[in-house]
Amino acid sequence: MRGDLRASMPRRATRFPLSRLLRAVPRRDVETRKAAEAAWRDTEERYLGLFLNSPDAIFWIGVSQDGSFILESINPAQEAALGRPGHEILGKPLDAWLPREVADPLNANYRRCLETGHPITYEESADIGQGPRIYQTLLVPIRNPQGRFHRIVGISTDITDRRRSEEELLERERLFRLLFERSGDANLLIDGSCFVDCNQATVDLLGAASKAQILGMHPSELSPPCQPDGRPSKDKADDILALAYRLGSYHFEWVHRRLDGTDFPVEVLLTAVPWKGKQILHTTWRDRTEARRAEEQRRHLEAQFQQAQKLESLGVLAGGIAHDFNNLLTAILGNLNLAQFNLNPESPAAPFLENAERTVLKASDLTKQMLAYSGKGRFVVKLHDVNAVVGEMAHLLQVSISKKAVLRLHLAKGLPPIEADGAQLQQVVMNLVTNASEALGDQEGTIAITTGLAELDADYIASTFPAQPLPPGRYITLEVSDTGQGMSPDVLARIFDPFFTTKPTGRGLGLSAMLGILRGHQAGLKIYSEVGRGSSFKAFFPAAPGHAGPAEPSETHEATPLAGRILLVDDEAVILDTIGPALEALGLQVVLANDGIEAVEQFRADPGGFDLVLMDLTMPRMDGREAFQLMRRTRPDVRVILSSGYNEQESIQAFAGKDLSGFLQKPYTLQALRTALRNAFREG
């Protein structure tokens, strides 16, 4: 290739610099001259090798007689850059073979180099057939023997790839800065152990006025003195930074502190990145405040769900036991009433039967508490004024509490009424006051009953008992507070367990039954308690418009006997054996059936032969609801009294609009049975 290049380039242009220098060597001594010539030839060969093999474009610029700049010599790299063989362009003015927009700037640079007599460096972009390229060019002026600058040697380095790399790097840096600044998470840079940069999200998260308040600080300066594990923030931060530098990245949780002094949890990711010849840490903070709140809410909901499941399971058990007990009590009470019915009132046995009847009714109260705990204990729902209920109970409450306790009433005026069962509402008040009195023990103290009207939101309701969804809105609050010993969190977690007590002797279902009453009334309970500072139980009931209704008129009972044919349906033999004779004693003809299927068969056999059906709700094979529907299909005007160990509201909800003739809650007395029968016959 070297031979080809020499053949394509003027000899004068290629070799003139060294030839002229050789002629300047002193000629005094022939041997010295020959040695010098040999040395110069060696130097020329080296120069030529460099000239021919350099990856940079090397060129000589001369000046023609008309003052035009011409290429006198070019190396292969320059020839390749130009994309044209040297013999086509050497010795020709630049504007003879280059476009004017390219030649004019080159001529201007060459002229400036010769006029100033100093080397100049510049960058230029040119497209001479191989696409746009960027060159960094050095021009050096050369003097002639007379000392005048008349030639230029130039070296052009193609820096296109370097410039593209630099631009790509700059673009990546711009992109990083854009992502860094606009990230929703706090982004920071740590050099050594201090912050050297941060984004606006960091400023906002820390509540700073500007970045200047943050930069230069150690992470521990934006943290509480100690982390949750008890370690000092400074020591722990230094250990983590060292670990991140060593491992290249580290992920952990931390508690930082805003400039206003409030702490907040963050998830931190440290990543080591190269920067100006050293390693720095790119830091990302992700605020965990909302995540922690969501986790806490999830745990709270799980606890509520578990509590609800426990209450539901115990409620089902309590309801089932109450139902079975009521069947037994119905038989006992029925037999007692039959004995009383057939006994001379002056008999010495009469007081014993009366005591037995009172005992059965007390046992019935216990089953009502069990039904209340199951949430199925609402009986007669009317509008009630909470203040009136508390006022009527004031004397009873005063004598029920400790003699060292002072009872204070703070009753708000003008409260809307609530829909509730009066007896159960009284039980709630009594249970709360009794519980407060027991909390005082033998110490002096105060029990306060406070009523009010409150607008409760979903967040407040979610923090209350029992665990059931209640709508936000207006609620009547009934709060009973005491100055007693308070409760620990462990005790507070168990107070609604049946028969749980901190006293030497318990009193039954207590607060657990009260919770069932509240659940049955779509009401709730908020508890505040602190050991040594007393407790507060705030029940809240949905407010209803209007005023409490008048008292129910008392029943008047006629002594005239009943007459007619009745179908008695119950799966409990003791009920049939007891209530059957009781009905006969009242003057009725009785036909017995052990379940719904047998009852339907007997009814269909003689539809017009029955004046009334007295039927249990819960039976095997066919329950009372299905049997009632089949009887109605046979005879639409059949009169049916429903009986159940559950309460009326729970039992008859499946019979809405079906025109039941009455309901008897087990256990019931002979008088209650007579009243229900008379009312049913009166309808006919």
Provide, rounded to the nearest whole percent, the portion of the chain with pLDDT above 70: 82
Sign of the CA dihedral 649, 654, 659, 661?
A: negative
pLDDT at residue 455 tops 60: yes
**The pLDDT value given to residue 550:** 39
Of the candidates 605, 606, 626, 604, the one whose C-alpha atom is nearest the C-alpha of residue 615 is 626
Contact call for residues 666 and 644 (beta carbons, < 8 A): yes
DSSP type of residue 587: T
Averaged pLDDT, 110-123:
92
pTM above threshold 0.75: no
CA distance linking residue 220 with residue 233, whole number of Å: 5
pLDDT at residue 21 tops 70: no
The domain ranges of the chain are 2-158, 177-287, 381-542, 564-683
Quick one: 381-542 is in which CATH superfamily?
Histidine kinase-like ATPase, C-terminal domain (3.30.565.10)
Q: Work out the pLDDT band at 10, boundaries 50, 70, 90.
A: very low
Averaged pLDDT, 113-136:
83
Averaged pLDDT, 634-660:
74
pLDDT at residue 238 tops 80: yes
**The pLDDT value given to residue 356:** 80
pLDDT at residue 59 tops 60: yes
pLDDT at residue 378 tops 60: no
The token duo for 120 is 């100049």
Averaged pLDDT, 160-189:
82
Please count the other Cβ atoms lying within 10 Å of the Cβ belonging to residue 230. Answer: 7
Name which residue leads in pLDDT, 341 or 655: 341
Averaged pLDDT, 248-259:
94
Residues 6+ apart with CB under 8 A from 477: 450, 451, 452, 453, 454, 538, 539, 540
**The pLDDT value given to residue 655:** 66
Name which residue leads in pLDDT, 369 or 56: 56
Name which residue leads in pLDDT, 364 or 119: 119
Architecture of domain 564-683: 3-Layer(aba) Sandwich (3.40)
**The pLDDT value given to residue 17:** 52
Question: Does domain 2-158 correspond to CATH entry 3.40.190.10?
Answer: no
- Topology match between the domains 2-158 and 381-542: no
Q: Work out the pLDDT band at 647, boundaries 50, 70, 90.
A: low
Kindly report which listed range (302-306, 437-441, 645-649) carries the lowest average pLDDT score: 645-649
* Beta strand segments in 109-193, E: 120-126, 133-143, 149-158, 186-191
Q: Work out the pLDDT band at 417, boundaries 50, 70, 90.
A: very high
**The pLDDT value given to residue 661:** 85
Averaged pLDDT, 213-228:
94
CATH class given for the domain over 177-287: alpha beta
Q: In what order do the strands lie in the sheet with 149-158?
A: 69-74, 57-63, 149-158, 133-143, 120-126
**Mean pLDDT, all residues of the chain:** 81
Name which residue leads in pLDDT, 545 or 535: 535
CA distance linking residue 198 with residue 186, whole number of Å: 7
pLDDT at residue 3 tops 60: no
Phi, psi torsion values for 648, nearest 5 degrees: -65, -50
Q: Work out the pLDDT band at 265, boundaries 50, 70, 90.
A: very high
Contact call for residues 149 and 141 (beta carbons, < 8 A): yes
Averaged pLDDT, 555-580:
78
Name which residue leads in pLDDT, 507 or 671: 671
Provide, rounded to the nearest whole percent, the portion of the chain with pLDDT above 90: 29
